[in-house]
Chain A
């Protein structure tokens, strides 16, 4: 008898026919899902245009939706980047809040020139991202816990800095010009988001670092045993997420024209909803840039349309919460494994 038997037959045999059936069902679902979000977006636009032609189907409304959602889009990209490496950054909203407060705060009464204040605000969240990364990668603290703690600390910092009051006194009006900038009638925020999305896409899809991020998220052990410095990838990713949070905060402040200590944390859930919903489209089952952007647009269109139809204000959080749960469930199924 030459046949050799391994010590682990259950591994050798694997999930045979039942697994194959699930696989093929999933394959169908995956291909059906690929352009689900763009199709859903078009359907929503058509429905609301028919129901509210005077208010919804206008260029003004389009501009408003796109501009206001630019803040969320950048934040969602930050959430997506940390999700790609298999980590959660729950301090994203608080980081954005910090930047949105620091920028006008530092620029108020000419304390710092506007560009310097802008850079300082982004540097602050970059530093926060770096600390998050070190806590997770080097001190081996679960990212969920580390960043929830960081979020609380940042909220405290925001309260301490502002005293709980909105900062508007002495804020230079030029602050608004960042968001108001509109070459050829295209709102600046749309251009900023497009550029940022393209840069993030290039990083993820066209650089070795992007591959390493995906590998760390897919299997930290396999990544490490391929010679990838997984700790460095983690730290850099959290830091880059911090940069994006800073940018989204700056965008928000330039739309508001003031520093509001209450904004930020509320944007965390919509950002995650968009990142998860995005994983159901384009590169199905994987967190991806265009899926995330389309998810932001789809949710925003849905919410804007429902608002214009006169539905009450609780619709928006309900919509976001439902989108998150549905998206996570769908992503789990499409990936074929828990997140």
Chain B
């Protein structure tokens, strides 16, 4: 291939292993100058790791080769080295400082120009104006970033990445890597970004474009490289594909999940009353969302990163103020933004970030486990004896190790910490338990224990709403799965439809004809 000599970025044999787990396995791809190259894959396919390897945040395993503009580099360069080699990154959070001006933020990229040790603001302002002119942006150099609209900020971040670093060893920008650049943009502003990217392409810069939004890929990308479980499935010309074909490449052929039969064999909870009724709730990403969960039902929430999955949990639980809509638990209407009221009404939340939100790391197993309602005597003092008994029972029931109730929870493994968080809520017999990534970073044994506890809780009538980015987990446990797209429930999968392949298709907005048929069949059967 004669393309190789002039590739903007060429990666070959890139692997990355974390404590024995191979997250990336021999990935090779190349990006031509002036092309938009999409990097696609499901949650956990290894995209983020790949980008962090390119940025120098992670050091790739031995044997990886990365060439930039035809020049081989030594993989394992520090993060500060990437730009000098000709790579620039615009991450999802943009890396702009809200309380600094446009000129100052741009200078953070290209460096400050000094005269006699002091910053030359005149020079700095004119550099900023040059950057602003790249995209004809309607901002002044001395405006604060916080006063600049979101779309403009994204373009400023890109402009900053384009500005050549003024240094003796610096290279021209060869390749720009954009990680989910439209994730925070208003829908109609994507066009502004794409117009800007066309100008970048015209300069002969290669663009790596990471996005979950396939419509964008078809509008802007020339080629796509797809990762699945850390392995590259191939690089494809976008013009030769349609959306459905691309989704099948991204998901791959997964064997049908056997455990969904376990879900269908469960007694139908159709006769049981609704425990949770969410009507027309809106937050930041969530728009006008409604759903219901019945007593004893396990309902999954599937969605891509940034679809508002976790926000939904916070909105229901009152940890985030909702803009509109109502949340009803049993007969209680929950006030917006009050966790205490939600807990009082019988709602629990197992949060996504266990270390920050789930456990109080400095407290013991006992103290964490009884935090919601510490057992008290009539005098108002703690009933230490009853507490001890309860905690010992829970430790046995959940198989928590070490078994000492006075262990400080921060010293325990993630799986055992998660069991404590779960025990804490199940101990108060909640009407509704919301689980956000309940088995993330948990080993297989602990995962099985957690699932067993969840099933038994649901048999006792607790309604479970479970959010998980790993759709296999949802398929294993859930009676019903709601697919969140564009901030609302776009699809609902029931019974035999609850497969991870069906969820993946639905999150990308591809109708699953096979499942559609089964829906009709199911309806007729009832």
Contacts and interface: CB of A to CB of B under 8 A. Distances in A.
Contacts of B18: 9-10, 12-13
B357 A14 contact: no
A12 B230 CA distance: 16
A11 interface: yes
Given A207-B382, A214-B367, A227-B342, 14 more contacts: A4-B472, A23-B411, A206-B381, A208-B374, A211-B374, A211-B382, A214-B363, A215-B363, A215-B367, A219-B357, A224-B339, A225-B317, A225-B351, A286-B362
A1 B440 contact: no
Interface stretch (B40-48, B59-67, B397-405, B457-465): B40-48
B344 interface: yes
A23 B21 CA distance: 25
Nearest to B343: A227
A6 B44 contact: yes
Given A13-B19, A219-B360, A227 B410 contact: no
8 contacts: A4-B470, A12-B18, A12-B440, A202-B381, A218-B363, A225-B351, A226-B371, A227-B343
A215 B344 contact: no
A223 to B, nearest CB: 7
Interface size class of B (residues with CB under 8 A): 35 or more
B372 A227 contact: yes
A224 B371 contact: no
Nearest to B18: A9
A222 interface: yes
A3 interface: yes
A215 B317 CA distance: 19
A5 interface: yes
Interface in B355-389: 356-363, 367, 370-372, 374, 376, 380-382, 384
Nearest to B52: A10
A6 B472 CA distance: 13
A69 B111 CA distance: 57
B451 to A, nearest CB: 15
Given A6-B44, A208-B376, A219 B339 contact: no
Contact of B46 (A5, A211, A228): A5
B349 interface: yes
Interface string B311-323: 0000001010000
B469 interface: yes
Contacts of A219: 356-357, 359-362
A4 B382 contact: no
Contacts of B351: 225
A91 B229 CA distance: 57
A293 B347 CA distance: 41
B78 interface: no
Nearest to B342: A227
Interface in A1-43: 1, 3-14, 16, 23
A335 interface: yes
Contact of B357 (A16, A23, A222): A222
B317 A207 contact: no
Contacts of B344: 227
Contacts of A14: 414
Interface string A320-339: 00000000000000011100
Nearest to B49: A9
Interface string A147-190: 00000000000000000000000000000000000000000000
A246 B465 CA distance: 50
A211 B357 contact: no
A283 B356 CA distance: 23
Interface residues of A, number: 39
Which residue, B231, B351, B371, has most C-beta atoms of chain A within 10 A?
B371
A64 interface: no
A7 B229 contact: no
A337 B408 CA distance: 14
Contact of A222 (B45, B342, B356): B356
B394 to A, nearest CB: 16
Nearest to B231: A1
Given A14-B414, A214-B360, A215-B371, A5 B349 contact: no
Nearest to B19: A13
In order of increasing CB-CB distance, the 10 nearest A-B pairs are A227-B343, A218-B360, A9-B18, A218-B362, A13-B19, A12-B441, A208-B374, A226-B371, A219-B360, A206-B381
A229 interface: yes
B23 interface: yes
A219 B363 CA distance: 10
A225 to B, nearest CB: 5
Interface string B336-347: 000110111000
Which residue, A7, A16, A214, A221, has most C-beta atoms of chain B within 10 A?
A7
A187 to B, nearest CB: 30
A228 B381 contact: no
B357 A225 contact: yes
Given A13-B18, A225-B317, A207 B363 contact: no
B424 interface: yes
Which residue, B343, B359, B362, has most C-beta atoms of chain A within 10 A?
B362
Contacts of A13: 18-19, 21
A232 to B, nearest CB: 9
Given A218-B362, A219-B356, A286-B362, A226 B424 contact: yes
Contact of A5 (B229, B356, B374, B382): B229
Contacts of A285: 362
Contacts of A4: 44, 229, 470, 472
A6 B23 CA distance: 9
Contacts of B469: 7
Contacts of A227: 339-340, 342-344, 372
A226 B356 CA distance: 12
Contact of B441 (A11, A16, A214, A286): A11
Which residue, A211, A228, A286, has most C-beta atoms of chain B within 10 A?
A211
B360 A5 contact: no
A151 B165 CA distance: 49
